[in-house]
Chains A and B, each alone.
Chain A
Amino acid sequence: METALRLGRYALDHGETPVACIFVHSPTDRIVAFGMNDTNRSLTGVAHAEFMGIEQIREFVSPDELACFFRDVTLYVTVEPCIMCASALKQLGIGKVVFGAGNDRFGGNGTVLSINQDKCTSGGNHESIPGVLRREAIMLLRYFYVRSNEKAPKPRTKGERLLDKENFPPMQWQNYMDRDSFVQEFGPDKIACYESKIDWTSEVKWELIEQCQDSILEELKQHHYQFGLRLKHKKVRR
């Protein structure tokens, strides 16, 4: 998630909504692909971070093998997948999704709909873990909205935008997971956070989101390339 946040910062510095993700092959614990929001550059409203990563995976996994491959993939994404992305991930059979901030308007993994768990959409259900480095993800969005998105269809009136770095909305753990799942994921010592609706990390990792991350793209391209080579040389099971 720290890597995803660094990529989110890169997206912010390149005029995109700072949402980013990393696809990890769980058996080898290696980065397979990455994505960041690309809607402004591409003029495509559906160019969400998850889709960029999916396209990268398609480069070296054939359509017939995608479902089998995605079963072993965990997605780390700074903001909860929207309903469209949640549905796409479900159809592809993703193994697990870990996200930072909830998506109040379009969240597909528990905030608005629970695509990952419902029975009325096609695909296999998957586990979803919320609230990991949530405040960092929220801060990236706040940086963006303070700057304002001039390319939005209706840019908001600027007025005086104040950057709040102190206050964060309560974390509604119960919308995404029950107590037992929380304990299983984060440990029994964190259960007070569940009850109090707060984050379980102590401090905000400002260094991830306040510094420019110009090198992150090259790093991730290398990871993606290396993983492709491992697949090619059959060091990784498809």
Chain B
Amino acid sequence: MVKKSLNPLKIDYRRCIVEDRLLQIRNEKIIDVADLVKVWTIDIEAKDSKQVVDFIRRFSQHRDPVPLMHVKRIKKKNAEKKILCVLICSVEMAREESEVTLFLEQEVPNLKYSNLENTQCVPRQAAPTKELVVEWSNEYWPLVWYGNPNDQILNDYVFDMDLIKFVLELISSRSREESQNGNQFPIVTAFINPRDTKTPIISVDKRSQHDHTLLDHSIMSGIKLVAQREAMRRYQVEKGEREDAG
């Protein structure tokens, strides 16, 4: 992650265009109704907060299928008794209470906690505006504000623009050929393995070919070609005919 001002890519954050040619496809509407997900919470004494936070960083944060980076993990429950309520993970990471209990027993065996429950809901995604962060924090659970989340998303993208330009030119050229050859759907797709950018898979829409059906879109055909190549790679690795480079 680089600071926005240091990003070498030219990004139009308002129109969501990178390097004047890549338009981010996104829902234009500002969603002001939170999509909620239930989470598992426990109550702990304030003095135990460090080991719980360590546990979350070490164990649950990267395993949770719902990224909860926009959510504060701890909120005060009883200031006088110094009791904190801690968000452990979403119910999509652990559906059963017994799973959470097991995680805690295995990872933080000395932790004393109470009220393990999944009655609390938090927004699944970061709020799009600062006003909504305040509103949702009051309504559901304290949230953090790092600025417009989409700016962060755009800023975090890593693009090899030379490769992208090369591939776009390649499929544009192929598309023109297809059109000249009578393909009614001159749609061409490239699939690039980031570990092997030199051998892209190029697939062509075959809907107008006589022995194909209206389902033979270029993306569908390309997905099958990607799978075939991967199956072949695994076969060759198994036979010792090539190195397993992942």
Residue of B with least CB distance to A45: B223
- Check A46 against B223 for contact (C-beta < 8 Å): yes
Interface flag for A120 (CB, 8 Å): no
Determine chain A's interface SS by DSSP, over half rule: loop
CB contacts (< 8 Å) of B93 on chain A: these are: 156-157
Q: Number of B interface residues at 8 Å Cβ cutoff, please give it.
A: 21
Interface flag for B231 (CB, 8 Å): yes
CB contacts (< 8 Å) of B63 on chain A: these are: 157
- Check A162 against B94 for contact (C-beta < 8 Å): no
- Check A160 against B224 for contact (C-beta < 8 Å): no
Q: How large is the interface on A (under 10, 10 to 19, 20 to 34, 35 or more residues)?
A: 20 to 34
Q: Report if A162-B96 is in contact (Cβ < 8 Å); known contacts: A88-B215, A91-B215, A157-B63.
A: yes
CB contacts (< 8 Å) of A44 on chain B: these are: 223-224, 227
CB contacts (< 8 Å) of A68 on chain B: these are: none
CB contacts (< 8 Å) of B76 on chain A: these are: none
Within 8 A of A (CB), among B74-95: 93-94
Interface flag for A159 (CB, 8 Å): yes
CB contacts (< 8 Å) of A54 on chain B: these are: 215
- Check B65 against A154 for contact (C-beta < 8 Å): yes
- Check B214 against A92 for contact (C-beta < 8 Å): yes
From A43, A66, A154, A159, B227 is in contact (CB under 8 Å) with A43
- Check A43 against B212 for contact (C-beta < 8 Å): no
CB contacts (< 8 Å) of A157 on chain B: these are: 63, 93-94, 99, 103
Separation of A54 and B214 alpha carbons in the complex (Å): 12
Interface flag for B181 (CB, 8 Å): no
- Check B96 against A92 for contact (C-beta < 8 Å): no
Q: Report if A46-B215 is in contact (Cβ < 8 Å); known contacts: A157-B63, A159-B102, A161-B96.
A: no
Interface flag for A63 (CB, 8 Å): yes
Interface string of A34-75 (1 = CB under 8 A from B): 000000001111110000001000100001001000000000
Residue of A with least CB distance to B213: A63
CB contacts (< 8 Å) of A160 on chain B: these are: 96, 98-99, 102
Within 8 A of B (CB), among A6-50: 42-47
Residue of A with least CB distance to B223: A46
Within 8 A of B (CB), among A187-214: none
Interface flag for B29 (CB, 8 Å): no
What's the least CB distance linking B143 to chain A, in Å?
25
Separation of A160 and B94 alpha carbons in the complex (Å): 9
Residue of A with least CB distance to B65: A154
Residue of A with least CB distance to B92: A156
Interface string of A135-154 (1 = CB under 8 A from B): 00000000000000000001
Q: Report if A42-B96 is in contact (Cβ < 8 Å); known contacts: A54-B215, A63-B211, A91-B215.
A: no
| Extra 18 A-B pairs, beta carbons < 8 Å, given A47-B227, A66-B213, A160-B99 | A42-B231, A43-B231, A44-B224, A44-B227, A54-B215, A63-B214, A88-B215, A92-B213, A92-B214, A92-B215, A154-B65, A157-B63, A157-B93, A159-B96, A159-B98, A159-B99, A159-B102, A160-B96
Chain A positions within 8 Å of B, measured between CB atoms, are: 42-47, 54, 58, 63, 66, 88, 91-92, 154, 156-157, 159-162
Chain B positions within 8 Å of A, measured between CB atoms, are: 63, 65, 93-94, 96, 98-99, 102-103, 210-215, 220, 223-224, 227, 230-231
